[in-house]
Chains A and B, each alone.
Chain A
Amino acid sequence: MQVLVLAGGLSAERDVSLRSGRRVADALRRERPEWEIVERDVDASLLPHLVEHRPDCVIPLLHGAAGEDGAMRDVLESLGIAFVGSGASASRLAFDKPNAKHVLAAAGILTPECVAMPQSTFRELGATSVLDAVVERLGLPLVVKPARGGSALGMSIVRRADEVPAAMVAAFAYADTVMLEAFIEGTEVAVGVFSRDEDLLALSAVEIVPENGVYDYAARYTAGTTTFYCPARLTDDIEESVQALALNAHLLLGLSHVSRTDAIVDADGQVWFLEVNVAPGMTETSLLPQALAEAEIGVGALFAELVDRVTA
């Protein structure tokens, strides 16, 4: 069995992806020493490599555009190569945060109200009047983030109206469309979901308490700057609700094999959907591996099981 772990790419999350890829590849080598595990970056030589060597299975661990927007999965699908994770169209839908929220809201799932606009809208209509209208509708504080992308790159929490333009510029640095979302005060949690046989299972929620109050890039990837609780300090009822939310998000968006849903539990115990990740980070400080460890499931065991499944 040859398994190709795809990591790296050209997105701003390249470094995170490389670390995720290395971790999964090492875990798989330990889990299945008889398998040939190949690690590959995405470049012009990838396609000829895939065509010539036709690996039995690909594990795309690319974060950010191309990795999560469905493009690479489209390529794998068209080559007829099996891969672990969601299909191209489901990935495309989930990666676009406003669209994913729309799908879930239509199914009755609570998600903070949001507005997403490209830069051209602000240019054509005038940023001040557009932003005034958005702030009036959504209120403050606001979360401003790229409509597509991860690792909190370009994300800001804005508490004053005069801070919104700078937050917009920071988000436009990473994407052409920016989402402004009502800020929900509460407990930040992440829930991993994976499929086993015919079942879809939710892991325990991981509660995130960043030292500086904001789970930004530094808080995500500097060990020691965020305290994680797994299981989260939630009542059993609320824990069930967040797990149900993650399972619903996974199903409603048509995702496969593994995903991670980020959510907020507010002071009233209401659970709000924020976003879902089709290629969850697998680094030393990432959330899904913590939840897997709590469930005593090895990273290698999970991915070996998924590889077995897609190649069966």
Chain B
Amino acid sequence: MSQGSRLDPWVDSYASRAHAMRASEIRALFAVASRPEVVSLAGGMPFVQALPVEMLTQTAVRVLTERGPVALQYGSGQGDVTLREQILEVVGEVGVTAHPDDIVVTTGSQMALDLVTRVFCDPGDVVLVESPSYVGALGVFRAYECDVIHVAMDDQGLVPVALSEAITRVRAAGKKVKLIYTIPSFHNPAGVTQGPQRRAEILAIAQREGIALLEDDPYGLLGFEGEPPRAIRADDAEGVIYLGSFSKTIASGLRVGWAIAPHGVREKLVLAAESAVLCPSNYAQLTVSEYLATQPWREQIKVFREVYRERRDALLESLQAYMPEGTTWTIPAGGFYSWLTLPTGLDATSMLPRAVAALVAYVPGTGFYVDGQGRQNLRLSYCYPEPDRIREGVRRLATVVEGELELVNTFGPSAMHQPVGSSVPAPDIR
């Protein structure tokens, strides 16, 4: 009798959390989406081609020639002090004031998310998130085995009444709410922005209930009209942990982000960072620092805004022109994303293979929930493709949606809901 093999000798050694890490059809489809023939409205890749590459090259060369021994060496776990001072200048744009010591520089704000969760959450602790929420944050919360609960949003973002009710409900069930995670400006994936009143109400709830507010603000400077929205952290230095990033304002490949946290939290974040990575990359930090010191970075952000505004407009115009009746979408005032709701009965997850076959890709809404919601939704990113490609992508997508409507007519609405497979996010969905 032959011995069975599972082709992985370590399968009984993995942690239980690794059991959900499986191959999935959705991930297989994203492998096709990366092909140039496909208009990818899926990944949130910043349009780094808009950067002055020549100047960046000079910056990088200068860092190596003038400060090589520092750039190539280990550094402080908290991050370069000059860069931390410069970060204060950047966050000043959204009204945040702090001391350089309040900042922990991280390998992208994704690492800051990881550190904050590591410091705050035991398995089973509750994290309240928006409905929908950033896929990368959900991945972190689940990796730490948090109980993630979605709280309703409207076109002004997180709904305060729903937030209060969720806290009451969770506590009545005997659980601890450790974090309220919110993206107040140009939300990923919902594309909505909290107004000042809404921000104040949410902050008041967090303060009243004694729950740390985790404010994720990677897109705050990428608004298309008026001044950047004032960060919630600008009005509370003790109750808010603020996450920021240079991924969208300079370059995502540099992997430099930060957390601004109250004293006690910051101490722990530094220790956690040291155990995770010893220190963030000195070379990347010094490159960012040199760029901020020598280049017109505010002007460059204006360039990015213009690029993204033009693409947002292309997306909205073509959605209006091509999408069948019953389709709705949010109108982002900044950032990278619009959140689309399909006509009743359609399922964005089961539609994806057809879309990819029609050479257009998006992220199905279920990826932004931990509980299977979002079937009727999808996220469209307009940040990377040129406007004409966006128009072509939306035209293709509209044809696919029409085809799905035909399937509903043929097989009935109850046939359209497919089981949701593994929702471990594809790596290119930011």
Contact = CB atoms under 8 A, between A and B. Distances in A.
Interface of A: 10-16, 18, 43, 119, 122-123, 127, 151, 153-154, 165-166, 168-170, 172-174, 209, 217-218, 220-233, 284-285, 290
Contact of A166 (B22, B28, B415): B415
A229 B7 CA distance: 11
A18 B31 contact: yes
Contacts of B165: none
Contacts of B6: 223-228
A170 B4 CA distance: 32
A241 B6 CA distance: 26
A123 B410 contact: yes
A12 B25 contact: yes
B32 interface: yes
A172 B29 contact: no
B2 A222 contact: no
13 contacts: A12-B353, A14-B32, A123-B409, A153-B28, A170-B350, A170-B418, A173-B351, A173-B352, A173-B354, A223-B7, A228-B5, A228-B7, A233-B1
B65 interface: no
Nearest to A224: B11
A23 B21 CA distance: 23
B344 to A, nearest CB: 15
Contact of B350 (A151, A173, A226, A228): A173
Nearest to B26: A217
Interface in B234-292: none
A57 B366 CA distance: 44
* The 4 nearest A-B residue pairs measured at CB: A224-B11, A165-B415, A223-B8, A221-B23
A217 B24 contact: yes
A216 B25 CA distance: 10
Contacts of B406: 119, 123
Contacts of B23: 217-218, 220-222
A170 B347 CA distance: 11
Interface of B: 1-8, 10-11, 14, 21-25, 27-29, 31-32, 35-38, 350-354, 356-357, 359, 406-407, 409-412, 414-418, 421-422
Nearest to B4: A227
Given A12-B32, A217-B24, A218-B22, A169 B1 contact: no
Given A10-B35, A15-B27, A218-B24, A166 B414 contact: yes
A209 B412 CA distance: 34
A64 to B, nearest CB: 10
Given A12-B357, A173-B351, 17 more contacts: A12-B25, A14-B32, A14-B35, A119-B410, A153-B25, A165-B412, A166-B415, A170-B350, A218-B23, A222-B22, A223-B11, A225-B22, A226-B6, A227-B4, A228-B5, A230-B5, A285-B7
A229 B411 contact: no
A209 B418 contact: no
Contacts of B415: 165-166, 168-169
Interface centre among A153, A170, A224 (most CB of B within 10 A): A224
Contacts of A225: 6, 22
B353 A154 contact: yes
A65 B29 CA distance: 14
Nearest to A124: B410
B302 to A, nearest CB: 36
B64 to A, nearest CB: 34
Contacts of A220: 23
A119 B407 contact: yes
B31 A15 contact: yes
Contacts of A221: 23
A170 to B, nearest CB: 5
Contacts of A151: 28
Nearest to A232: B2
Contacts of B10: 224
Contact of A218 (B8, B416, B421): B421
